[in-house]
């Protein structure tokens, strides 16, 4: 297989893994992944040691795009409070999409349970980075306890994403007031 063909096959596998695991969960079989990508199992195993490695690579590949749609650009001129609220506005917007299933990184962590799984490690890092974003913004905004506020915001983010993802609740009119209350209580400007 040529390098170009390998890249095309790799991309198709990564795309199939992202689509199917988001829609159906990490329990999706190798056969279904290969069928969706239009590649043989042999080709998959030439590119990835295991389905676990494919899942991790798929999550890793999509991290930059996920972060770009969720987090505001660095130094965008807004206050830390506005920047934090913007993240929750993005979640609310995404939750209104018909194919929204919640945060893909949270879903992987919940489904896998095993923190040593390669995909779980990628997801854990993405979620830790989000909490880090909240912590930095809380510090810059003068929060009384930036660490606690960051954890609280992550809890609201994950809870909102999960509840909207399973269709248990809509986020409109719910998330912004909740986050505003936390920001007010912490003294974030």
- Span 11-37, pLDDT tens digits: 999 999 999 999 999 999 999 999 999
Same domain, 34 and 70: no
Does 92 share its domain with 40?
A: no
**Shared domain check, 103 and 18:** no
Identify the domain containing residue 105 by its residue range: 50-186
CA dihedral 178, 161, 84, 78 (to 10 degrees): -120
- 36 and 92 share a domain? no
Query: Tens digit of pLDDT for each residue in 41-77?
Result: 999 999 999 999 999 999 999 999 999 999 999 989 9
| Encoded tokens for 63 | 């991290």
Query: At a CB cut-off of 8 Å and minimum separation 6, what does 164 contact?
Result: 91, 95, 100, 102, 170, 171
Q: How confident is the model at residue 3 (pLDDT cuts 50, 70, 90)?
A: low
**CATH number of the domain to which 43 belongs:** 1.10.10
Local confidence band at 95 (pLDDT 50, 70, 90 cut-offs): very high
What would the mean pLDDT of 139-153 be, rounded to a whole number? 98
**Residue 103 sits in the same domain as residue 134:** yes
**Averaged confidence pLDDT in the chain:** 95
- 36 & 65 share domain: no
Q: Do 162 and 106 contact (CB within 8 A), yes or no?
A: yes
Report whether pLDDT(103) > 90.
yes
Residues 139, 87 share a domain: yes
């Amino acid at each position: 297989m040529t390098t170009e063909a390998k890249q095309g096959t790799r991309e198709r596998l990564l795309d199939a893994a992202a689509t199917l695991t988001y829609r159906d969960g990490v329990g999706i079989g190798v056969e279904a992944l290969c069928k969706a990508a239009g590649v043989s199992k042999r080709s998959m195993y030439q590119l990835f040691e295991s389905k676990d490695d494919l899942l991790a690579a798929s999550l890793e590949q999509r991290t930059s795009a996920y972060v770009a749609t969720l987090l505001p650009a660095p130094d965008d001129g807004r206050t830390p409070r506005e920047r934090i609220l913007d993240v929750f506005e993005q979640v609310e917007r995404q939750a209104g999409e018909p194919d929204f299933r919640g945060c893909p990184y949270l879903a992987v962590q919940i489904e896998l349970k095993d923190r040593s799984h390669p995909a779980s490690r990628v997801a854990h890092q993405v979620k830790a980075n989000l909490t880090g974003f909240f912590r930095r913004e809380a510090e810059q905004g003068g929060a009384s306890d930036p660490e606690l506020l960051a954890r609280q915001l992550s809890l609201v983010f994950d809870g909102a994403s999960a509840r909207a993802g399973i269709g248990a609740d809509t986020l409109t009119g719910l998330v912004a007031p909740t986050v505003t209350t936390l920001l007010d209580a912490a003294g974030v400007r």
